[in-house]
Chain A
Amino acid sequence: MEHKTILLVEDNPDDIALTLRAFRKNNIRNEVVVAHDGVEALDYLFGEGSYAGRDPGITPEMILLDLKLPRIDGLGVLKRLCAHERTRKLPVIVLTSSEEERDIASSYEFGANSYIRKPVDFDQFTETLRQIGSYWLTLNIGPPQAERA
């Protein structure tokens, strides 16, 4: 299980810290790659920019995507992922504070697999992440790696 990477796209360092803490608390030991904005996330996924040289064939097991991001926002990221055959089928869980219907609708439209609102209560937040982890990382069978290539 250790080889399964989680891409966390989040600009808020507090949220990053809390998310990582929550993973830790829930015994989710996967490698977590943090991208601080949309550009960085895309660079990572496509092996470009600061991640130039990284094999884009190795894809994360799941992407936790915040919507409100500097430079390219979450929806922008989704759009790009959706546009590429290679990235289209990556499980993307939108994890955001927004409850805007517009955001929810757009997210699903651009291929998000799930939409979860971050609770303010850290206990609930931890519980949410536990559930996400157990579902997407344990129960869910992702698309074959070969197809991803």
Chain B
Amino acid sequence: MFSDRTKSGIFSGRALLISICAGVILYLGAVFALDLHSRISRGEKGQKAIQMLDALRRPLLSVKEAEIRLLKTGDTQAAARNLTKITTSAASLLDRYLALTQYNPTLYELATRLRDRYEEWIIQERRLIGHFTKAAADGHEEILQDALHEASDGFMNTMNTLGAGEAPIHHDIDTGHRATRLLMLSSGLLFLYLIGLVFIFQRAKTRELRRSYDQLKKEMKKRQQARAAIQESTKMLKLVLDTIPARVFWKDLDSNYLGCNRIFARDTGLESPRQIIGKSDFELTWADQAKQYRQDDRQVIQTGRPKLRYEEPQTGPDGSRIWLETSKVPLTNLNGDIIGVLGTYQDITGRKQAEEAFRALFQSTVKAVGQEFFEGIAAALCEWLKADSAIIAELTEGDNVQALSMVLDGKTIDQYSYALPGAPCEIVIRKGYCVYPDRVSELFPDDRDLVAMRAKGYVGIPLKDKSGSPIGVLCVIARRKLDLPPKAQDVFEIIAAKISVEIERKRAEQELNLYREHLEELVAQRTVELEASNEELEAFSYSVSHDLRAPLRSIDGFSKAILEDYWDDLDETGRDYLRRVRAASQRMGLLIDDMLKLAHVTRRGLTVTQADLTALARDIETRLQESQPGRQVEFRIQEGLSARGDERLLRIVLENLLGNAWKYTGDTPRPRIEFGGKEKDGETVYYVRDNGAGFNMRYAGKLFAPFQRLHRSDEFEGTGVGLATAQRIVHRHHGRIWAEGEEARGATFYFTLGEGIASSSGGT
């Protein structure tokens, strides 16, 4: 509709004004162009001039009449008087005529001439009068006659002159008339134009009006429809708001209510949601909580952030306190400005009560286990439901139930059991959670205990194990009608689950105890077995040391005996063979000794002292030198080396390492053996270095394995157990041992000893 109005702009007020102005300008232009106004004024002046001319004609004729009268009467005196009188008025008329003719120069000239003629004529008249007097007296008739002629001529001239002025005046008058007519015509045209213009505009306006009217009508219809739709949706919205199972309300920036739904209004005790409008929380039943509510409103309004799902109390119209789960969100208009707060809440009192009951129920029992737990639960259940008895019972064989805990009238009853058939617990175990709120004794007349205690209310739930098969029952019995709080079943199920778990735990514990006892037996048995096998092992090593050596000794001994006693009977080959037998048996003896040493090292306890390694090395050096006095070996033993450890075992290490060095420098021209220690990364690394045969680093990994040798026996004798023994000792000292070497260039053995070695009685 806005575009329609813009289209009809050609007929706007401004256009009309422009059209009018154009017409008027055109009209004025024409008037000025045709000089109409001056022509009209000329005509008007001509009109006045002609009237004046007509008025002038009378005194002039009066002069003539006076002359004629003179001629008749001859009264010169009167004539002179008359003439004076007439000329006075004529002169004034003539002056006025002159003034009137000033607009037209031609006319003015004629008028001037007229005055001149007139004045001449008047002079002639005066002369005539004079002459007449004289003539009367003297009789000069001739002169009189001449004067008379002269006067007549003067009169004629004057009148002619006067007449001559009429023509231009009439011309002016005609021109004026024509101009007036033209003016009238153009005025008429202008008028018609204006009328037409107004008419056209009027019609256009009318059309436009009609159009806008139609549009308006259409729009109104649309609006009506829209309003109807809005009303419909408002109604729907209201219906939704009133039906929704939550309280909905909205407030302005000052926390005054703007509206609410029906269910909210009911909470306030008001009859209709409309009554809430304009009220603040302080005027409602929850005035006590109003301060907190408004604080929350302010928070939501100021931060623009919703505050969701928080719990708060509310005082109802009857003074009771309920619990709410409230959410508040900022309320914004279409521009996004916050104009208030929209809130909604649910009554969670039931849930809250269940929670509190739940909490109360568990608080006293949560830490307890076993019997304490069962009794705590039973007592708490009675408390919670205001019941008289609670039983937690386990199914036993033969349809019987054995109470794990039973509370009756606040007292714990020990060793209570009952038969399942005919009891409500039977139904519970068969069907699950059961509630008989009022008439349980009537329904189960065979349950004597139930009847005896005059029970009315009963709640029971089966206890099930992990696989879901029933293992017991939990029931609560009251002598009055049982009024269960909401969600009681949930609480029961949770408690039942917890009890079931506890029963299972208890059973598991019992089983575990059984196992534990069994385990202890088992351990004892194993220990005995182990000890036995240890004994066997020791017996074995004993017999190895004892029994294996004996035959060797025999072999060696009798070989020696043969060599001594039958020397002459043997040839050199026989003797050589016997020597080989002796060498082999001696070597085997060494092997057995080393093996036993190795076993000893592993099994022996540690006796830790501060061991003087330098002294040990020196002692070993002396022994080695003594063993082969012929050899010249340079020993370089560092002073002041000492370490914590088992001195006897450390001696074995050094014996092995120095002994090896001694052995493998056997073929070296200038043998040298070093023993020292140096600090590296916070620990002392000891080393035994020689310049002997060395070894190939490729076989370094084999060095410490028992019975592994890198040299042939005929090169260097040995059993291959020494380094293994050294390694075991070093390991037992929490240290490391490794070697570096090069064939024919010598070897270096490094070892470390761990910190904090303590004495021990033995081990493997």
Q: Judging by beta carbons under 8 Å apart, are B557 and A98 in contact?
A: no
Q: Which of B510-528 contact A (CB under 8 A)?
A: none
Q: Judging by beta carbons under 8 Å apart, are B549 and A97 in contact?
A: yes
Q: In the complex, what distance in Å separates the CA atom of A12 from the CA atom of B555?
A: 13
Taking the nearest CB of chain A, how far is it from the CB of B409, in angstroms?
A: 73
Q: Judging by beta carbons under 8 Å apart, are B549 and A120 in contact?
A: yes
CB-CB < 8 A to B546: which residues of A? 67-68, 96-98
CB-CB < 8 A to A99: which residues of B? 545, 593, 596
Q: Which of B542, B553, B561, B604 contacts A120 (CB 8 A)?
A: B553
Partner-contacting stretch, out of A39-47, A48-56, A121-129: A121-129
Contacts A97-B546, A98-B545 given: A120-B556 contact, CB under 8 Å?
yes
Q: Which of A21, A101, A103 contacts B557 (CB 8 A)?
A: A21
Chain B CB count within 10 A is highest, among A21, A67, A97, A103, for: A97
Q: In the complex, what distance in Å separates the CA atom of A21 from the CA atom of B585?
A: 19
Q: Which of A87-137 contact B (CB under 8 A)?
A: 96-101, 103, 118-123, 125
Q: Judging by beta carbons under 8 Å apart, are B589 and A15 in contact?
A: no
Check if B486 is an interface residue, CB within 8 A of chain A: no
Q: In the complex, what distance in Å separates the CA atom of A17 from the CA atom of B557?
A: 9
Q: Judging by beta carbons under 8 Å apart, are B596 and A121 in contact?
A: no
Check if A14 is an interface residue, CB within 8 A of chain B: yes
CB-CB < 8 A to A67: which residues of B? 546
Q: In the complex, what distance in Å separates the CA atom of A17 from the CA atom of B545?
A: 20
Q: In the complex, what distance in Å separates the CA atom of A134 from the CA atom of B488?
A: 104
Q: Judging by beta carbons under 8 Å apart, are B542 and A14 in contact?
A: no
Q: Judging by beta carbons under 8 Å apart, are B561 and A15 in contact?
A: no
Taking the nearest CB of chain A, how far is it from the CB of B441, in angstroms?
A: 82
Check if A18 is an interface residue, CB within 8 A of chain B: yes
CB-CB < 8 A to B590: which residues of A? 120
Write the chain A residue with the least CB distance to B563.
Answer: A122
Q: Judging by beta carbons under 8 Å apart, are B547 and A121 in contact?
A: no
Q: In the complex, what distance in Å separates the CA atom of A18 from the CA atom of B555?
A: 10
Q: In the complex, what distance in Å separates the CA atom of A40 from the CA atom of B422?
A: 88
Write the chain A residue with the least CB distance to B546.
Answer: A97
Count, A-B residue pairs, CB within 8 A: 71
Q: Is the interface of B mostly helix, strand, loop or mixed?
A: helix
Chain A CB count within 10 A is highest, among B538, B550, B588, B604, for: B550
Flag B529-563 by CB within 8 Å of A: 1 or 0 each: 00000000010011001110111111011111100
Taking the nearest CB of chain A, how far is it from the CB of B517, in angstroms?
A: 35
Q: Judging by beta carbons under 8 Å apart, are B589 and A120 in contact?
A: yes
Q: Judging by beta carbons under 8 Å apart, are A120 and B586 in contact?
A: yes
Q: In the complex, what distance in Å separates the CA atom of A120 from the CA atom of B596?
A: 15
Contacts A121-B589, A122-B560 given: A18-B542 contact, CB under 8 Å?
no
Q: In the complex, what distance in Å separates the CA atom of A100 from the CA atom of B550?
A: 15
Q: Judging by beta carbons under 8 Å apart, are B553 and A118 in contact?
A: yes
Q: In the complex, what distance in Å separates the CA atom of A95 from the CA atom of B123?
A: 217
Q: Which of B553, B600, B604 contacts A18 (CB 8 A)?
A: B553
Q: Which of B552, B559, B561, B596 contacts A21 (CB 8 A)?
A: B561
Write the chain B residue with the least CB distance to A118.
Answer: B553
Q: Judging by beta carbons under 8 Å apart, are B542 and A125 in contact?
A: no
CB-CB < 8 A to A122: which residues of B? 553, 556-557, 559-561, 582
Q: Judging by beta carbons under 8 Å apart, are A18 and B549 in contact?
A: no
CB-CB < 8 A to A97: which residues of B? 545-547, 549-550, 553
Q: Judging by beta carbons under 8 Å apart, are B551 and A14 in contact?
A: yes
CB-CB < 8 A to B585: which residues of A? 120
Q: In the complex, what distance in Å separates the CA atom of A14 from the CA atom of B558?
A: 8
Q: Judging by beta carbons under 8 Å apart, are A18 and B547 in contact?
A: no
Q: Judging by beta carbons under 8 Å apart, are A15 and B553 in contact?
A: yes
Q: Judging by beta carbons under 8 Å apart, are A100 and B586 in contact?
A: no
CB-CB < 8 A to A68: which residues of B? 546-547
Q: Judging by beta carbons under 8 Å apart, are B554 and A14 in contact?
A: yes
Q: Which of B567-582 contact A (CB under 8 A)?
A: 582
Taking the nearest CB of chain A, how far is it from the CB of B339, in angstroms?
A: 99
Write the chain B residue with the least CB distance to A14.
Answer: B554
CB-CB < 8 A to A119: which residues of B? 553, 589
Q: In the complex, what distance in Å separates the CA atom of A12 from the CA atom of B546?
A: 11
Q: Judging by beta carbons under 8 Å apart, are A120 and B545 in contact?
A: no
Write the chain B residue with the least CB distance to A21.
Answer: B561
CB-CB < 8 A to B551: which residues of A? 14
Write the chain B residue with the least CB distance to A13.
Answer: B554
Taking the nearest CB of chain B, how far is it from the CB of A97, in angstroms?
A: 4
Q: Judging by beta carbons under 8 Å apart, are B542 and A123 in contact?
A: no
Q: Judging by beta carbons under 8 Å apart, are B556 and A121 in contact?
A: yes
CB-CB < 8 A to B554: which residues of A? 12, 14-15, 18
Q: In the complex, what distance in Å separates the CA atom of A122 from the CA atom of B557?
A: 5
Contacts A15-B550, A97-B547, A98-B546 given: A125-B596 contact, CB under 8 Å?
no
- Knowing that A14-B550, A21-B557, A122-B556 touch, tell me 20 more A-B residue pairs with CB under 8 angstroms: A12-B554, A14-B557, A17-B557, A67-B546, A68-B546, A68-B547, A96-B546, A97-B547, A98-B546, A99-B545, A100-B542, A101-B604, A119-B553, A120-B585, A120-B588, A120-B589, A120-B590, A122-B553, A122-B557, A122-B582
| 10 closest Cβ pairs, A-B complex | A120-B589, A14-B554, A122-B557, A18-B557, A97-B546, A97-B549, A122-B560, A122-B556, A120-B552, A98-B546
- Listed in ascending order, the chain B residues whose CB lies under 8 Å from chain A are 538, 541-542, 545-547, 549-554, 556-561, 582, 585-586, 588-590, 593, 596, 600, 604
Could you list 21 examples of A-B contacts with CB < 8 Å? A14-B550, A14-B551, A17-B557, A18-B561, A21-B561, A68-B546, A97-B545, A98-B545, A99-B545, A100-B538, A100-B545, A118-B550, A118-B553, A120-B549, A120-B552, A120-B585, A120-B586, A120-B589, A122-B556, A122-B557, A122-B560
